[in-house]
Amino acid sequence: MLYSKYEWRTLSADAEISGQLAKELSVSPLIASLMAARGITSPEDGELFLNGTFDLTHDPFLMLGMNEAVPRIRKALEDKEHILIYGDYDADGVSSTSLMIYLMRHLGASYDIYIPHRSNEGYGLHNHALDWAHQQGVSLVITVDTGISAVEQIAYANELGMDVIVTDHHEPPEQLPDAYALINPKISACPYPFKGLAGVGVAYKLAQALVGTPPQEWLEIVAIGTIADLMPLEGENRILVKNGLLSMRRTRFAGIRALLEVGGVNVDQVTAVNVAFAMAPRINASGRLDHAGRAVTLLTTDHQDEAERLAWELDALNKNRQQVVEQIVQESMDMIQRRWGYDQLPPVIVLAGEGWNVGVVGIVASKILERFYRPVVILGIDPETGNCKGSARSIPGFDIYEALNSCKDVMHHFGGHPAAAGMSLHMDRLAEFEEGLCSFADVVLREEHFIPVYHADLECSIADVPLKVIDELEMLGPFGMSNAVPKMVFRGMEVMEVRKMGKENKHLKLRFHQNGDRLDAVAFGLGHLADVLPEGTKVDVLGELSVNEWNDSRKPQLMIQDMSVPYQQVFDYRGMKEPIIELKRLREILEPHLNYSAARSAVVFAQDSHDAIKSHLYDMSLWVYDRNAGILPMNPVAEKGGCESISVLFVLDVPESPGQLDSLLSSFRSVPNIFLLHPIRSKRDQLQIPTRDQFKKLYVMLAGLGSKPMSENEVITRMNRQSALSQRMLLKVLDVFEELVFIERSQGMITFVTKPDKKPLDASRHFRELSELAEMEQHLLHASTAQLTHWMMARSKGAS
C-alpha cells in the first residue's frame, strides 16, 4: 500500500451548469466542468474569464494616495528634481524597480535607483540610504514593493527635507508612515476594488496614472513580478498577466529574451509556468547571492551582448543557490533530528544557524515545510553581531504575519503576508521568539491543520483526456495562484511499464493503461518509487496534464503530483545478498511514502540467523520464529508495540513450517506492506509435494536393500541415484517411513522392516507436513511475484 502524501479534495461541478457552459462557450465537457468547479456559473462569467479585455481593469485614480502622488511627481519633472526609486531585492522588487526605470526614461526624469543588499542591509528603507540620497540631491523618493512599514525611516526622510511616495502591496501595520502619499490597495481606507496586485502591479497603476496608456511591453515586466511573487491570477491580475505573456511571446526586451533562452523556454510559447520556474528563480538568485541590481540591469538593458552575459551570470548564480539550499536543508534536517526527532515536532519549527545565507532561508523554509507540513522559520545568524535574519513560510489556517505580530516585541523588524514573512532579531531572544510563536500556534492550530491537502479539480479517466482536450486547457490560463494548473485524479490505472530516468535515476517514467487506453506519465524526484510499483500494480494518481512533444510527435502526458496504491502489497526482494543493507535502504527512501516509523516496522527472522540484526535494527520491532508459538517478540519495541500498529513487515527468513507461516500471517494480518528479503534455496534442495507413486517406488527400492542395517548416508546416495529428488526431500521421505514403522533408524543406520503393518501415508504426520511444507516453499522460494502475492493474500485470509 503506497500512501498519498496529501489528502486529496476534489471539487464538484454542477452538471447542469457544465452543460450550459459547454454549449454556450463551445468548449469540451471537461473544460466546462473545470470552469464550473472553479466557480464560473454563467456563460457571461465564462466569456469574461476566457476573453476578458484590458477595458476591465480599474481606474488608477481609485487608489488612495494617487491624487496626491501624481501632481507631486509632475512637479518634480517640471522642476527637474532628482528622484530616487527605492526598490526591493526579490523578483517583484526587481520588476517594480525595472518598470519605474522605464517610466522615468519615458518621462525624461532625473533619477537614481537604490536596492538594499539582502545580506548586508536587509529588507526595507534604511536611513543610511536616505543619507546617501540626500547627498545626491534627491528631493523625492518613490518606493516600490516596500515602505509601508517604514515609519521611522520616512520620518527621517522628512527631517532631511525629502518627500516620500510609497507604492507597496504588503500588509499595512497598525501605524502607517507619514509619507507624502501612501499607495497600497490593502490600506483599509483605500477604495480600490482589487486588492491582489503585486508590488509591480501597484507601480504599473502609478505609471498608468501618469502616462494614460503605458506601452504594451511594460506588461511583460508586470507579468514577471506578479507571477514570481505568487499573487492571485484572478481579476485584474489575470488581465495584466495574460496581456504581458502575449507581449512576451514577441518580446523586444533583450534581457527577457536572453533569460528565457537560458532557461530553455521557447520564447514564442512562453507561459506563466515558464515564468515561475525558469525566469523567477534566476532573477531571485541575483538578490539572494549577489545584488539585485544585476537583475535590474538585465531587465532594462538595450544591448543584446550585455543581456546574454547577464542572463548566463544569473543562471550560474541560480545553480550556486541550489547547492547552498541543499546544504542548509541537510543541516536543518540534522538539527531537527537532534532536537526533536521526526515524530515529536513542535507546532512551529524555528531553526537558526551561523553562517546560513540569509538570501536563501526562505527557500529552505519552504522545503522544510513541504517535508513536515507545519509553519517554519529559518534564520541565519551573523557570528560577529549575533543578529539573525530569517524567513517564514506557513500553512493554510496559520497567518504567519499575525503570529509574528503576537511576539513583535522580541524582533527588530518584521513584515510580510499570511503565508510568508521576514524578520530580524538578536540571537539572545531566539528562545523567547520560538516560545511566542509556538504559544500562538497552540491556540490557533488544530490537528486537522497538520494534514497536508491537495486540491484537485476533477476525477476522470484516460478516455476523457485526448490530445485535443489537453490543448484546450490552455484557454483557462494563465495559471498560477488562485488559478492553478488543473489537477486531475485518475483511479485504478494499471502500471504497464516503469523505469527510472534522469541524473542519478531521480525521476520516474511510467506508462498506464485503463480499459484499453494508454497514458504516459512522469514523476519528478520519485525515481525510488520504481521499487514499489511493479508491472500490474493498480494506482490512483493525481497530476497535471500536458503534451509531450518529441520528433514531431505529440502525445498526452501526465505530470504526477501524488499517487497511492490503495491495497495491501507484497514486494519481492528474495535472494538479496545483503538483506539487512537493503532493508535499511528501503527504510530510508520509502518511509514517507509507506507511512511508517521505525517502531511501526517489523522484522521477522530465524533465531539463529543474522547476528547483526540486534545491533543494526534495534529501533525496529523484532520477531523470531518459534517451534511452539509460531513467532515471538525479540526486543522491547516488539513487546511494547505488539503487531497491531505495524505498517511494514520485512521477512528475512522462510518459516520452518506452515504453522509458523500461518502464525506470521495471522499476527500481521492487517499490515499494508510486506517485503520478502529471504534467501532462495537452490533447486537441489527443493522439496516437492509428494505423490503416492513416488513413495511406492522408494519403498520398493528400500525393500531391495534387504533386511541388513545400512548406513543412512549410503541409503540416501542409492535413493538419489534412482530418483530425481533432492537429498533434503529424501530425508523427509525417510522421516515418513520411520513414523509408519517401514524402517528403523539407529545410530546413523537404517534397517528395512520386512513385514510392517499396513498403514496409509495419510496416517503419517510427517507426510501431511511435507505436503504443506513443500507447497509453502514452492511459493515462497520459486513462484513468480504475481503467483506469490496471490497465494499469500489467499493464505492470509485463511490464517487463524
Average pLDDT across the chain, whole number = 93
Mean pLDDT throughout 725-754?
90
Mean pLDDT throughout 127-135?
98
Same domain, 671 and 581: yes
pLDDT digits (tens, 9 = 90+) for 233-244: 999 999 999 999
Q: How far apart are CA 756 and CA 737, in angstroms?
A: 10
Tell which phi-psi region holds residue 620, choosing left (phi > 0), alpha (psi between -120 and 50) or beta.
Answer: beta
Find the CATH number of the domain harbouring 416.
3.10.310.30
Using pLDDT thresholds of 50, 70 and 90, give the confidence band for residue 729: confident
CB 656 within 8 A of CB 606: yes
CB 726 within 8 A of CB 686: yes
Please report whether residue 258 resides in a domain: no
Is the dihedral angle over the CA atoms 455, 459, 461, 464 positive or is it negative?
A: negative
Tell which phi-psi region holds residue 235, choosing left (phi > 0), alpha (psi between -120 and 50) or beta.
Answer: left
Same domain, 477 and 526: yes
Look at residues 39, 41, 105, 109 and name the one whose alpha carbon lies nearest to residue 74. Answer: 109
Q: How far apart are CA 654 and CA 231, in angstroms?
A: 58
Q: At 586, phi and psi to the nearest 5? A: -65, -40
Look at residues 691, 662, 656, 677 and name the one whose alpha carbon lies nearest to residue 773. Answer: 656
**Exposure b/e, 521-544, CB count within 10 A at least 16 = b:** bbbeebbbbbbbbbeebebbbbbb
Q: How far apart are CA 653 and CA 625, in angstroms?
A: 9
Please report whether residue 331 resides in a domain: no
- Report CA 665 to chain centroid distance, whole Å: 34
Same domain, 539 and 637: no
Residues 6 or more apart whose CB falls under 8 angstroms from that of 706 comprise 752
Pairing, β 749-752 against β 349-354: unpaired
Asked which of 170, 191, 213 is the last residue of a domain, the reply is 213
Find the CATH number of the domain harbouring 653.
3.40.50
Asked which of 523, 538, 564 is the last residue of a domain, the reply is 564
Q: How far apart are CA 347 and CA 446, in angstroms?
A: 10
Q: How far apart are CA 326 and CA 270, in angstroms?
A: 29
CB 100 within 8 A of CB 85: yes
Find the CATH number of the domain harbouring 142.
3.90.1640.30
Please report whether residue 606 resides in a domain: yes
Q: How far apart are CA 627 and CA 634, in angstroms?
A: 15
Same domain, 611 and 648: yes
Q: What pairs with residue 27 in β-bridges?
A: none
The packing angle between helices 254-262 and 280-289, to 10°, is: 100
Residue 163, SS3 per DSSP: strand
Same domain, 609 and 734: no
Mean pLDDT throughout 70-91?
97
Q: How far apart are CA 655 and CA 647, in angstroms?
A: 20
Same domain, 351 and 463: no
Please report whether residue 299 resides in a domain: no
CB 486 within 8 A of CB 476: yes
Residue 61, SS3 per DSSP: helix
Pairing, β 743-746 against β 749-752: antiparallel
Residues 6 or more apart whose CB falls under 8 angstroms from that of 755 comprise none
C-alpha dist (Å) from residue 778 to 547, 689, 727, 765:
46, 9, 16, 20
CB 143 within 8 A of CB 84: no
Mean pLDDT throughout 442-461?
93
Q: How many CA atoms lie within 13 A of 148 on its CB side?
A: 24
- Report CA 162 to chain centroid distance, whole Å: 48
CB 437 within 8 A of CB 350: yes
Same domain, 704 and 745: yes
Same domain, 49 and 29: no
- Give the residue with greater pLDDT, 794 vs 105: 105
Please report whether residue 80 resides in a domain: yes
Q: Give the percent of the chain with pLDDT over 90.
A: 72
**What is the residue range of 353's domain?**
340-432
Find the CATH number of the domain harbouring 538.
2.40.50.460
The pLDDT of residue 798 is above 70 = no
- Report CA 154 to chain centroid distance, whole Å: 42
Same domain, 414 and 498: no
Residues 6 or more apart whose CB falls under 8 angstroms from that of 737 comprise 698, 699, 702, 743
Please report whether residue 776 resides in a domain: no
Mean pLDDT throughout 653-672?
90
Same domain, 360 and 373: yes
Find the CATH number of the domain harbouring 752.
1.10.10.10
The pLDDT of residue 603 is above 80 = yes
Please report whether residue 444 resides in a domain: no
Q: How far apart are CA 699 and CA 691, in angstroms?
A: 13
Does the reported pTM lie above 0.75? yes
Q: How far apart are CA 545 and CA 464, in angstroms?
A: 12
Residue 249, SS3 per DSSP: coil
Residue 470, SS3 per DSSP: helix
The pLDDT of residue 800 is above 60 = no
User: DSSP secondary-structure letter at 483?
Assistant: B
Please report whether residue 301 resides in a domain: no
C-alpha dist (Å) from residue 261 to 257, 386, 551:
6, 42, 20
Query: For cell 499494508, what's the residue?
Result: 672
pLDDT digits (tens, 9 = 90+) for 452-505: 998 999 999 999 999 999 999 999 999 999 999 999 999 999 999 999 998 889
CB 183 within 8 A of CB 167: yes
Q: What pairs with residue 674 in β-bridges?
A: 570, 649
Query: Which stretch of 216-225, 575-584, 789-798 has the lowest confidence by average pLDDT?
Result: 789-798
Can you state the percent helix, strand and coil of the chain, rounding each to 5? 45, 20, 35
Q: How far apart are CA 648 and CA 600, in angstroms?
A: 7
Same domain, 594 and 676: yes
Q: What pairs with residue 699 in β-bridges?
A: none
Mean pLDDT throughout 704-720?
87
The pLDDT of residue 275 is above 80 = yes
**So what's the pLDDT on residue 117?**
92
Using pLDDT thresholds of 50, 70 and 90, give the confidence band for residue 25: very high
Cell of 460: 476522470
The total number of structural domains that make up the chain? 5
Question: How many CB atoms sit inside 10 A of residue 783's CB?
Answer: 17
Beta strands in 74-172 (DSSP E): 82-86, 110-114, 138-144, 163-167
- CA R_g for the chain: 35
Which alpha helices (DSSP H) does 532-657 contain, by range? 579-594, 613-616, 636-641
Q: How far apart are CA 387 and CA 374, in angstroms?
A: 25
Using pLDDT thresholds of 50, 70 and 90, give the confidence band for residue 799: low
Same domain, 405 and 474: no
Q: How far apart are CA 223 and CA 243, in angstroms?
A: 8
Tell which phi-psi region holds residue 464, choosing left (phi > 0), alpha (psi between -120 and 50) or beta.
Answer: alpha
